[in-house]
A and B are shown apart, each in its own frame.
Chain A
C-alpha cells in the first residue's frame, strides 16, 4: 500500500499556541483528508481537500493540499485543551480506499 509519512509523531501543546503537523507521500493523491480521533472513539473527518494548492479552514483548523499533490499540512491556531487527541492524515488516489498516516498524538503540556 501507499506509505504516508506523518510528522511529528507526537507533540505537546500549551493552551493558546499554534501547532502544525504535516504529511508527505511518495505518490500523488487526488484527495487529502484530515481526521481526529478522541480516546475510545473512531476518527472523525475534520477537513477534506480536493485541489492542489487548496487552503481550507474549519474553525481554528486550516489545512492545505500541497502543490505537488504529495503533501498536506494541518494547522491548529490558538489551541485549547479539547484539541488533544490523535490526528491522522489520509490520501486517496482512487475511489476505493484511503491510505492513512501513522498519526500525530497531541497532548497538553503540564
Chain B
C-alpha cells in the first residue's frame, strides 16, 4: 500500500506545453504539499493545502496552479512549461508539520 503516490514518475515534454502531476495520499492526513527539488537537491516549498484550502503559496510563477478536489488529493498543473521548470517535484502529506511529512517518490520533469 503506497502512502503517498504521485504520477507520472517521469515526464519529458517540450517548452510551451501544459502538463499535470497528480498526487494522492491514503494516510488520512489533513495537509498536503508540493515541493520542488532542484539540481543541487535543495527542497523548496511551493504550495500547501489544509483540508482543501490553500494555506501556503510561496513565490511561484502563476503558471503553476495547484488544485485539491478533496483532502486526499493535490494535483499540480503547469502551463507554458519553460526549461527552468526541469526539476523533481515531490508531493507530501502530514497531520501537522511538526510530525514530519510523508513524501511521494517524486516526478522528474524534463523540459526540452
Interface positions of A (Cβ within 8 A of B) = 1, 30-31, 33, 35, 37, 40-45, 48, 50, 86, 88, 90, 92, 94-98, 100, 102-103, 105
Contact = CB atoms under 8 A, between A and B. Distances in A.
27 contacts: A35-B100, A37-B41, A40-B105, A40-B106, A41-B105, A41-B106, A42-B4, A42-B90, A42-B92, A43-B101, A45-B101, A48-B99, A90-B100, A92-B97, A95-B96, A95-B97, A96-B48, A96-B55, A97-B33, A97-B48, A98-B45, A98-B97, A98-B100, A100-B43, A102-B40, A103-B42, A103-B43
Interface residues of B, number: 26
B43 A97 contact: no
Task: List the 4 closest pairs (A to B, CB-CB), nearest first.
Answer: A42-B103, A31-B98, A100-B43, A45-B100
Interface of B: 4, 31, 33, 40-43, 45, 48, 50, 55-56, 58, 90, 92, 96-106
Contacts, number: 63
A43 B98 contact: no
Nearest to B106: A42
Given A94-B97, A95-B96, A96-B97, A44 B48 contact: no
A109 B100 CA distance: 31
A105 B40 CA distance: 11
Contact of A103 (B41, B58, B101, B103): B41
